[in-house]
Structure 1
Amino acid sequence: MHPGSPCSRCLSHYAHGVKDVTPSTWVVAGGRTFNPGDPLNVPITLASNFRAGTDRGYSRGEGTATWEALEELVGGLEGGRAVAFSSGMAAAAAVLNLLSTGSHIAFPDDCYHGVVALIDEGVEKGRWSSSRFAGADTASCIEAVLSADLVWLDSVSNPLLTVADVPAIALAERKPGGLLVVDNTFATPLNQRPLAFGADIVMHSATKFLGGHSDVLSGVLVAQDPDVVAALADQRHHGGATPGALEAYLVTRGIRTLAVRMRQAQANAIDLADRLQNHSEILRVRYPGLVSHDTYGVAQRVLDGPGAMMSFEIAGPADRATAFCDALRIIVHATSLGAVESSMERRAGTPGQEHLPPTLVRFSVGIEDVDELWGDIVQALEASGSHR
């Protein structure tokens, strides 16, 4: 871990007597109660209404113990107060809804296409204006901060794996009242905590690495400013974007193994990225852990690890990349990411992603045996070779 990293320091937490522990311990110990006789895991509260006499009246607004545990867990990991949502896109929509009509949004050239679609829709309806900047160019990012009411960044971008210099951008002079939002889905709180660098809001699609098992839709926002936290909670309440009790439980259970899952998946990714960049059928590998990566230097400064996501380009036409994905046997050909199973997808075939290199494949590395994963990649390259 790099010196002074927010992830390399111990965490201090505000509840249940667990203090000064590392993230690897907090994912297990956080979000639990410590009263004699309490269940070890917070129960799934299947109730939408509560008896009068407390401040908990209706779960859409006041919540349940199940998703309060999730919020404490993620809030502690990120160093703020968390607000849980029904999905990552619901969380993103809540952030954008904080803006007044006529606001300006700046976001990078490589950004999750769902968020881009949401921003573009607001532009078409006259709600706000927007501009894009080169995410790999820190100077361009800093210039955007000066005039934007909201700057949207990814700690590690999807799908080109550009690493943003969040500390430098956060330190830049901002437009008064301007917000810096960082999607930390790819890095996870184990590899970066953007609030410690000066971000205002951190977002997670908890469907991905936090949940980690391809069995739940969820999103989380984290902030330190009490007014921002309250505004986000209001957006959730008024928009009806509250998480279900079972979904909150599943994400909480997934986070319990986040550290060990990420450790194995990241080790696999480091190994496979090196093998891929040395394979004659692979034109380019984008992975923050490779010296050849555009933002490798930034990654070394702002991340505690290169993560478990990468993308690579296969030699040949676009249909070869599709045939390659179809030929996989262990690795799943699927669109989502961040789960225990490895998955791949040709991203240029996705609506809104046509600008990407035609043979770019996004690779979410799982926790399987690394040699068997490599064997699957090699056989799929051979099987798709006739499409060259």
Structure 2
Amino acid sequence: MPRKQHFETTAIHAGQEFDPSTGSIIPPIYQTSTFVQDGIGGFRGGYEYARGGNPTRTSLETLLAALEGGKHAFSFSSGLAAEDALLRAALEPGDHVVLGNDVYGGTHRLIDKIHSKSGILNDTVEMMDLHAVQKAVVPGKTKILWLETPSNPLMKISDIGELAEIGHAAGAIVVVDNTFASPYLQKPLSLAADVVVHSTTKYLGGHSDVLGGAVVLNDAELASKVGFQQFAAGAVSGPMDAWLTVRGIKTLAVRMDRHSANAQAIAEHLVGHPALDRIYYPGLESHPGHELAKTQMSGFGGMISLGLKAGPKAARKFAESTKVFQLAESLGGVESLIGYPSEMTHASVKGTALEVPDNIIRLSVGIENVDDLIDDLDRALPRR
């Protein structure tokens, strides 16, 4: 038996066979909405209409499954579209979802404001507190245990294996949003999670030029339901978006190494800064999830959050003062971004238990020269 390929090789080659008709090393973009049939029902390669399938999307889905170690992958037009399809596939009216208490605001909004109208119930809990999670799940009623690790934006690290045991004992599907870590740094399915979701817009695409989402799983029955939602509701990724995501994934390993190295250097540089009361980065030994992150991740990633001592006014000024770090939503691109979660990415959870403290700044550390990034932060941060 041939040896299993390393991640970097898989990221470049899985689902990416050269074009047999021309020898093109890069598979073509199938920019088409429909496919000619060889007689009625005679589909070539199984393709009929682009909502149901497209070879470019198939290549991305094959690649996503290979990277996460899953049997089935589905590509969607956005991360929230992917989450929505999974929720519709897995839940019935009256079912209960337990989420982490600092999940991405859009995820909570989707479940709490939209799916609640269909009778879906939800509760949030501190996922680092296993006893609290055990109390929150209701056997036979809780159908999804949903976690992010690292979480957005407070960088909490949750024990995927332990939470999977709790979820499975209650009869729940355990879903992990792996967007912050990427499959290069963490593989939730290998840690007993049932489903992985991604905003492929972020690290997988990696260049801030494409929108997308993904669901990856092993269970054939649930996969069939997700596939039906993808086809019936139609929130699929287009061929150009799928192609751009594949192109981004090919450099995922080298980018994540640089993101992680830069973030580690920045976090260590900022330790003890007089303007900060806390640095949220799992690569620091002082982070409460540091040891756990070392066991279930192969690196600590490129996301850092900072708490400013002087409060929201100082945080806002800092976010608006950097030059290399650009003020923008999103994360995971090659360029560094800075954001103010309470008014940007997590504005939808203001006034709830998930509200992000208004002194928090989130950094998406890019792959620029780290000295330039440190200089930029030093100039923008107040000295007290």
Q: Which runs of 5+ in 1 are unaligned?
A: 1-11, 13-17
* Residue identity matched to 1:94: A
Query: Matches of 2:97 and 2:51 in 1, distance apart?
Result: 29
Q: Percent identity?
A: 37
Look up the match of 1:73.
Answer: 63
Deviations 1:179-238 (A, max 9, x none): 111100001101111111111110000000000011110001100111121111111111
Shift of 1:38: 3.4
The reply to whether residue 161 of structure 1 matches residue 155 of structure 2 is: yes
What is the Cα deviation at residue 258 of structure 1? 0.5
Query: 2:306 matched to 1:323?
Result: no
Is 1:127 paired with 2:127?
A: no
Task: Calculate the TM-score normalised by the size of structure 2.
Answer: 0.91
Which amino acid in structure 2 is aligned with residue 27 of structure 1? A
Query: Which string of whole-angstrom CA distances, capped at 9 and with x for unpartnered residues, describes residues 340-374 of structure 1?
Result: 00111111223124322221001111001111100
Match of 1:60 in 2: 51
Deviations 1:124-176 (A, max 9, x none): 42521111111221332344445311111112110001111001111236366
Q: Which amino acid aligns with 1:59?
A: A
2:210 touches 2:244 (CA, 8 Å); kept in 1?
Answer: yes
CA contact (8 A) 1:146 1:174 kept: no
Q: Between 348-357 and 147-156, report the one with greater CA deviation.
A: 348-357
Q: Say whether the 8 Å CA contact 2:160–2:193 is kept in structure 1.
A: yes
Cross-structure match for 2:223: 229
Secondary structure (helix, strand or coil) at the match of 1:82 reads strand
Q: Using the TM superposition, give the Cα deviation of residue 27 of structure 1 relative to its aligned residue in structure 2, in angstroms.
A: 1.0
The superposition leaves residues 228-260 of structure 1 with CA deviations (integer Å, 9 ceiling, x where unpaired) of: 211111111111111100000000000011011
Q: Could you tell me how far apart the structure 1 residues matched to 2:214 and 2:342 are? A: 28
For 1:118, the aligned partner's letter is L
Give matches, 1:361-380, under 5 Å: 361-380=361-380
Give, as a single letter, the amino acid of the residue that structure 2 aligns with 1:104: H
Conservation of the 8 A alpha-carbon contact between 1:341 and 1:368: yes
Mapped to 1, the partners of 2:118 and 2:254 lie a distance apart of: 46
Cα distance in 1, alignment partners of residues 74 and 153 from structure 2: 26
Counterpart contact for 2:18–2:26, Cα < 8 Å? no
The range that moved more, 369-378 or 290-299, is: 290-299
Corresponding residue for 1:346? 340
Superposed, which structure 2 residues align to 1:1-388 within 5 Å?
20-33=4-17, 37-52=22-37, 53-54=42-43, 55-61=46-52, 63-80=53-70, 81-98=72-89, 99-122=91-114, 124-145=116-137, 147=139, 148-172=142-166, 174=168, 177-350=171-344, 351-354=347-350, 355-382=355-382
Q: Render the CA deviation track for 1:22-67: whole Å, top value 9, x for unaligned.
A: 1122111222115754321121111111111223111101x11111
Q: Is the 8 A contact 1:204 1:221 kept in 2?
A: yes
Distance 2:26 2:157 in 1: 36
Residues paired across the two proteins, number: 367
Residue 168 of structure 1 aligns to which amino acid in structure 2?
E
* Structure 2 counterpart of 1:4: none
1:5 matched residue in structure 2? none
Residue identity opposite 2:76 in structure 1:
F
| Secondary structure, counterpart of 1:347 in structure 2 | coil
Deviation (angstroms), 1:301: 1.8
1:110·1:135 contact (CA, 8 Å) conserved in 2?
no
Distance 1:171 1:136 in 2: 14
| Inter-partner Cα distance in structure 1 for 2:219 and 2:168 | 17
Check the 8 A contact 1:86/1:217 in 2, yes or no: yes
Measured on the aligned residues, the alpha-carbon RMSD in Å equals 1.8
Higher mean alpha-carbon deviation, 122-131 vs 292-301, is at 122-131
Question: For each residue in 1:264-317, what CA deviation from the matched residue of structure 2 results, as whole angstroms up to 9, or x when unmatched?
Answer: 110001110111122111110011111111222221221111111110112213
Counterparts of 1:280 and 1:140 in 2: how far apart (Å)? 35
SS at match of 1:306: coil
Distance between the aligned counterparts of 2:170 and 2:358, measured in 1? 41
Aligned to 1:9: none
Contact 2:100-2:147 within 8 A present in 1 as well: yes
Normalising to structure 1: TM-score of the pair? 0.90
8 Å CA contact retained: 1:109, 1:133: yes
Output the amino acid matched with 2:326. Answer: V
Contact 1:123 1:130 (C-alpha < 8 Å) held by counterparts: no
Query: What secondary structure is seen at the aligned counterpart in 1 of 2:342?
Result: helix
